[in-house]
Structure 1
Amino acid sequence: MPQPKDLDPYADARSFYGSELRRLREAAKMSQTELGDRVFCSGTYIGLFEMAERSPQQDMSRAFDELLGSGKHLQRLCRLARKSKVAGYFADAAELEKRARSIEEYAPMLVPGVLQTRAYATALTRGTKRRASDEEVERVVSARLERAQLLSCENGPDFWAIIHEAALRVPIGDPRTTGEHLTHLVETARAHSHTVVQVLPFSAGFHPFLNTMSSLMQFADAPPVVYTEGAYAGQLIEEAALVEQYRSAYDLARAVALSPEASLALIASAAKDYDR
């Protein structure tokens, strides 16, 4: 079971939350397991909160406050700790990306965020947030481009992306934007040895992930999780049996996708079509 590490409680809001949860739990003379049993989760999960390895949850913070007699202390800290540059529904997954040993994404209609160019991300954001100000669009795009640094970090995760051929054929922005973006995708895959891109061609037919963006993350010190996303909402999945179902479906997609070299050749060809 994870043991609380020596956190600097003032390093950030999440560390302060973790240190306060630990302080309150120990003052109540409860172990991580005992507290977990009372809020219907594992002691391991409590340990991840206390180590600031997982973002706090509002509903669990409410339960902690009730059990530990801390008023609304942890609920207020939770709101502070969950402030994020990315959409609220993606915040937990964005934090987990930074700790992941490997990330395997499937994208049915759009290229994954960490592989997007600024122009592509801007066109996409303007299309989905039609009433957004220029400042809000820039904030969203900048946060997305920051995530791309995962690919160039020395200790970054292995990254595997399976992209449906449809994502190559749907123009985002003008033809030049899409063409340059696909060229960037090829160059990024070739520049990073730990980044693999495959295309699931139209000829592969039906697949369980056909209309679902999915990201499978594995860690050195925690169970794997899956993040799925639709147009305006996302969900983090941690149930072991369901995560295994996603794993099996992803392995099937990898098996029927084009090889990495054939995939990059197809992407480069699609980029030239937009140039013409």
Structure 2
Amino acid sequence: MANGSRQAAWEFFGAELKRRREDAGLSQSALGVRVFVSGGYIGQFEQAIRKPQLDVAQRIDEVLQTDGFFERLWRKLIKDQPFTEYFAHAAELERLATKICEFEPALIPGLLQTPEYARGLFTASNPFATDEYIEDLLRARMDRAALLKDAARPVYWVIVHETALLIPVGSSITMAAQLAYLGAMMRERKVLLQVIPFAAGAHPRMGKMMKLMEFEDAPPTIYTEGVHSSSLLDEPTVVKRVQASYDLLRAVALSPEASLALIDSAAEDYRQCASTT
């Protein structure tokens, strides 16, 4: 399903939600109370600005007595996404965010990956997949990354551990190009990136990636990821705790200038390795 067709389908979802809500005699706030979201969220669902999570769609069906209509439509739309089901909603929110703060403990974040680096990751994690499947994954990844080329791109603040610079993905040439790309994005001020060096020692928050997204007219949201699973949360106390964790990681990271020097040095090491092989 093309992006335009998918958006039109979400607009249909929203129009049906509004129609059936009004038929039930409920305001946006009244429905929101019953499905445990704000009335403003219901309004954004109806305008196709934000997409509900599955459990919200299921509760809407229960409250409006729509016999699973919104759950079935949700599953169809998510299935047609170019991303895995557990990441699809987060990918939609990335496009709406005004600010993204991200921590990755071992890999270069997806929004900053070069095609060769991303292809190396996809091939390693899908060893029996066809070339066509790998290229579909790569195309979706690069479509996401185009977000940072947009004039209206979000403020993007990234923290990576030094591990991400040293774990080889693909060849030495691939890694040299990937790190050079990071450096270029930093110099162009499209990303503020800091590296946590090995010298910083262990930190209890280093084990899991986290992405904090802020929006113009909606509460901030936290995305974390496990093995073929994820959590997308906007409960204020949870967001506050994750923000505090991110701040602690930022406190032990190198400055952007020192981080850039470390990235440049690692890129040069890969270039020298490539030249001797």
TM-score in terms of structure 1 length = 0.91
| 1:52-201 equivalent positions in 2, closer than 5 A | 52-82=48-78, 83-191=80-188, 193-201=189-197
Instruction: Note the alpha carbon deviations across 1:3-60, whole angstroms, 9 max, x for none.
Output: xxxxxx9951111101100010001110112112222333222222112122233333
Offset at 1:229? 1.4
User: Is the helix fraction higher in 1 or 2?
Assistant: 2
| Structural RMSD (CA) | 1.8
Task: Say which is worse superposed, 31-40 or 102-111, in terms of deviation.
Answer: 31-40
CA contact (8 A) 2:183 2:264 kept: yes
**Residue number among 20, 39, 54 corresponding to 2:16 in the alignment:** 20
Instruction: Note the alpha carbon deviations across 1:149-173, whole angstroms, 9 max, x for none.
Output: 1111111101111110011111011
Counterparts of 2:150 and 2:114, CA distance in 1: 18
CA contact (8 A) 1:106 1:209 kept: no
CA contact (8 A) 1:14 1:56 kept: no
Instruction: Note the alpha carbon deviations across 1:125-150, whole angstroms, 9 max, x for none.
Output: 11111222111111111111111111
Instruction: Note the alpha carbon deviations across 1:231-260, whole angstroms, 9 max, x for none.
Output: 422211211111111111111211221111
Instruction: Note the alpha carbon deviations across 1:206-247, whole angstroms, 9 max, x for none.
Output: 223311111111111111111111342221121111111111
Cα 1:32–1:144 shift into 2, 3 Å: same
Task: Say which is worse superposed, 56-65 or 220-229, in terms of deviation.
Answer: 56-65
**Residue number among 249, 252, 262 corresponding to 2:248 in the alignment:** 252
TM-score in terms of structure 2 length = 0.91
| 1:266 to 2:262 alignment | yes
Equivalent AA in structure 1 for residue 116 of structure 2: A
Counterparts of 1:91 and 1:246, CA distance in 2: 21
Q: Which runs of 5+ in 1 are unaligned?
A: 1-8
Who is 1:42 aligned against? 38
Q: Which runs of 5+ in 2 are unaligned?
A: 273-277
Who is 1:3 aligned against? none
Instruction: Note the alpha carbon deviations across 1:83-137, whole angstroms, 9 max, x for none.
Output: 3111111111101111111101111000000110111000001111122211111
Who is 2:275 aligned against? none
Counterparts of 1:210 and 1:48, CA distance in 2: 34
CA contact (8 A) 2:6 2:77 kept: no
Aligned to 2:25, the other structure's residue is in SS state coil
CA contact (8 A) 1:17 1:81 kept: no
CA contact (8 A) 1:56 1:81 kept: no
Equivalent AA in structure 2 for residue 87 of structure 1: T
Offset at 1:69? 3.1
Task: Say which is worse superposed, 201-210 or 87-96, in terms of deviation.
Answer: 201-210
